[in-house]
Structure 1
Amino acid sequence: MTTLGAVFRPQLPPERLRSVARAADDAGLDQLWLWEDCFLESGIAAAAAALAWTHHLTVGVGLLPVPLRNVALTAMETATLHRLFPGRVHLGVGHGVQDWMAQAGAHTASPLTLLREHLDALRALLAGERVTVQGRYVTLDDVRLDYPPTTPAPVLAGARGPRTLHLTGQAADGTLLDAGMGVEGVARARRLADQGREDAGRTGHHPVTAYLLAATGADATARMDAELHSENLPPGTGVAGDAQTIAHAVRRMADAGADTVVLQPTADEPDPEGFVRFAARQVRPLLR
């Protein structure tokens, strides 16, 4: 069965997170995903709060922009969450939006090199290794976490372009795809990530998590059309309609290679709590 999630978009104020997270938990949603978009809300702080407010819900952060983060700090925060809430955390890292990185004084000449160095160091630290590295961007001198995770702590990486998608297969534990990819993009990403994994001599399944723009309700089509226009996304990237329509779109994403599909509401979703309940109680049963 495809794992189903939903997004709490950071366009909502942070104080709204509690009711949305509890609604998702009570309804039995598999996953709730958060964003660390500039300059809205912190992914780690929001994840810690959502996990503390809920009992069963898995919380993901997709994604943490690595130009803003020292890898040792990322490892410390990630390990802390995994030890406090074992088995309920998914974290992704990625390039971040380059214009935002420049605004924050964190622009890098080679985002791909930075992401590779960050992934290698982060995964080693979370595995409890003692790490010394002198890279182009990442420097660590005899660093080891005192409290590494006691359960597996997979690190996902966000990607869109072919070189980054190949890298996620080589150096990450899973690939995270944004809502602009569509079905064909998911299939392409699956091929490139799997090729990267094969080239690196890694074995086992490489999970892919994909966002899917979704809207339901009387004005769903109008809201979806406006969202696609504002984000400059092609028609057909998102889905608007009832549970059957959205479940069909989720199955298409799964058939293309997504293990987890995360429903992303429009920025003007009028009922975020209702949206997560709809995903859990109406769409999820249709995926069995």
Structure 2
Amino acid sequence: MTQIGYTMMTEQAGPRALVEHVIEAERAGFDFSVISDHSFPWLDSQGHAPYAWSVLGAAAQATSDIPLMSFVTCPTFRYHPVVTAQKAATVQLLAQGRFRLGLGSGENLNEHVVGEGWPSAHVRLDMLEEAAEIIRALFAGGYVTYHGRHFQVDDARLWDLPDPPPPLGIAVSGPRSCELAGRRADLLIATEPRRELVEAFDRHGGTGKPRVGQLPVCYDTDREAAVARAHEQFRWALGGWRLNAELPLPTGFAQATQHVRPEDVADAVPCGDDVEAVVKAARPYAEAGFTELALVQIGGAHQLPFLRWAESELLPALRAL
């Protein structure tokens, strides 16, 4: 594993805290940072959902070296592709070339708010491909007119265009999204260490491109407290993306996970202060061919102790992978 990143989890902290956390992540020596882009938390207990793009702008000004990335933005419902391209170009300029635009087909939890319905995964991927085409065209400069099945663009242009434009990442979970990412993306994004995702990405043009994964952890010197916090705030993650993409509200995730036990979460998420447990959880990403891994520390109020621990113990161990 060549690079270890830090996740600004918008579902569990407010905007000022998120900026403070990424400043500390840069100081601690993390190689990059990513940010989730949500209009709702997964569970009410997480308690937050600030606008990720305002946080990115503030983070770009508050930090000097750490690369930033959306992880991920859906450019097809809440945001039109033209608006997504403008936001990404602006953040790239503010960050002076440190920004990567991660895209995905979205979750109903975040996109239902605009009242456009929630189509099948196949349709959502078709929409994502059109969006990626539009964004690429705008990044290339000049006026763009586009008439697709899902999106219409009339004489759009980015007047403040960064050079270079942000690299484009696409989140994958199956064969169709891997094929799309291989053709359209500069990097792969995934939340599971599945070798078949990397191999499918490579078959369709992804060979040699970065592959970015994500791993939740729950650091605390009191392991029982860590397990309880992970269960309270992160049990939704055990549902898998087929379920997680479909439910529209945090109450649905609470109901869907009402029988998930703390020990079930502890089996899936490294909890406590055991460095080797995190290394063991990260190793499958390295073995599957991922080149970068973004860590999620569970609990918005528990970031600074985690960052100090990461600086002194965890990052050196992970980089040895």
What TM-score, normalized to structure 2? 0.78
| C-alpha spacing 1:90/1:274, structure 2 compared with 1 (3 Å) | farther
1:262 corresponds in structure 2 to 294
- For 1:258, the aligned partner's letter is F
Are 2:124 and 1:118 aligned? Answer: no
* Residue 99 (structure 1) shift: 4.5
Any conservation in 1 of the 2:13–2:300 contact (CA below 8 Å)? no
- For 2:198, the aligned partner's letter is R
C-alpha distance in 1, partners of 2:128/2:311? 34
C-alpha distance in 2, partners of 1:193/1:70? 26
Are 2:153 and 1:140 aligned? Answer: yes
2:37 corresponds in structure 1 to 36
1:51 corresponds in structure 2 to 60
Match of 1:94 among 76, 90, 104: 104
- For 1:116, the aligned partner's letter is E
2:199 corresponds in structure 1 to 191
* Residue 229 (structure 1) shift: 3.8
* Residue 116 (structure 1) shift: 0.3
Name the count of aligned residue pairs: 277
SS in 1 for 2:72: strand
What TM-score, normalized to structure 1? 0.86
Match of 1:206 among 205, 209, 213: 209
C-alpha distance in 2, partners of 1:221/1:100? 27
Q: Structure 1 stretch 251-260 or stretch 104-113: which is displaced more?
A: 104-113
| C-alpha spacing 1:28/1:99, structure 2 compared with 1 (3 Å) | closer
- For 1:37, the aligned partner's letter is H
| C-alpha spacing 1:230/1:44, structure 2 compared with 1 (3 Å) | closer
| C-alpha spacing 1:87/1:282, structure 2 compared with 1 (3 Å) | farther
1:84 corresponds in structure 2 to 94
* Residue 281 (structure 1) shift: 3.6
Q: Residues 231-251 of structure 1: CA distance to partner in whole angstroms, max 9, x if unpaired?
A: 335765432342233234323
Are 2:241 and 1:231 aligned? Answer: no
Q: Residues 187-228 of structure 1: CA distance to partner in whole angstroms, max 9, x if unpaired?
A: 12111212232xxxxx75222111111122222345445556
- For 1:89, the aligned partner's letter is F
C-alpha distance in 2, partners of 1:262/1:212? 6
C-alpha distance in 2, partners of 1:100/1:3? 29
C-alpha distance in 2, partners of 1:75/1:228? 31
1:200 corresponds in structure 2 to none
Are 2:300 and 1:272 aligned? Answer: no
Any conservation in 1 of the 2:19–2:55 contact (CA below 8 Å)? no
C-alpha distance in 2, partners of 1:74/1:120? 12
| C-alpha spacing 1:239/1:127, structure 2 compared with 1 (3 Å) | farther
SS in 2 for 1:68: coil
| C-alpha spacing 1:106/1:63, structure 2 compared with 1 (3 Å) | farther
Any conservation in 1 of the 2:2–2:292 contact (CA below 8 Å)? yes
Any conservation in 2 of the 1:6–1:279 contact (CA below 8 Å)? no
Unaligned runs of 5+ in 2: 41-48, 240-263
* Residue 166 (structure 1) shift: 2.0
C-alpha distance in 1, partners of 2:278/2:5? 13
Matched-pair identity in %: 25
C-alpha distance in 2, partners of 1:13/1:269? 8
Any conservation in 1 of the 2:201–2:207 contact (CA below 8 Å)? no
Unaligned runs of 5+ in 1: 198-202
Are 2:184 and 1:171 aligned? Answer: yes
C-alpha distance in 1, partners of 2:157/2:300? 43
- For 1:211, the aligned partner's letter is Q
SS in 2 for 1:60: strand
* Residue 106 (structure 1) shift: 3.2
Match of 2:78 among 68, 72, 95: 68
Any conservation in 2 of the 1:91–1:156 contact (CA below 8 Å)? yes
* Residue 101 (structure 1) shift: 2.1
SS in 2 for 1:90: strand
* Residue 54 (structure 1) shift: 1.3
* Residue 158 (structure 1) shift: 1.7
C-alpha distance in 2, partners of 1:9/1:194? 29
Are 2:22 and 1:21 aligned? Answer: yes
Q: Residues 103-138 of structure 1: CA distance to partner in whole angstroms, max 9, x if unpaired?
A: 321335321111000011112211325432100122
C-alpha distance in 2, partners of 1:242/1:269? 20
C-alpha distance in 1, partners of 2:145/2:174? 30
Q: Structure 1 stretch 240-249 or stretch 52-61: which is displaced more?
A: 240-249
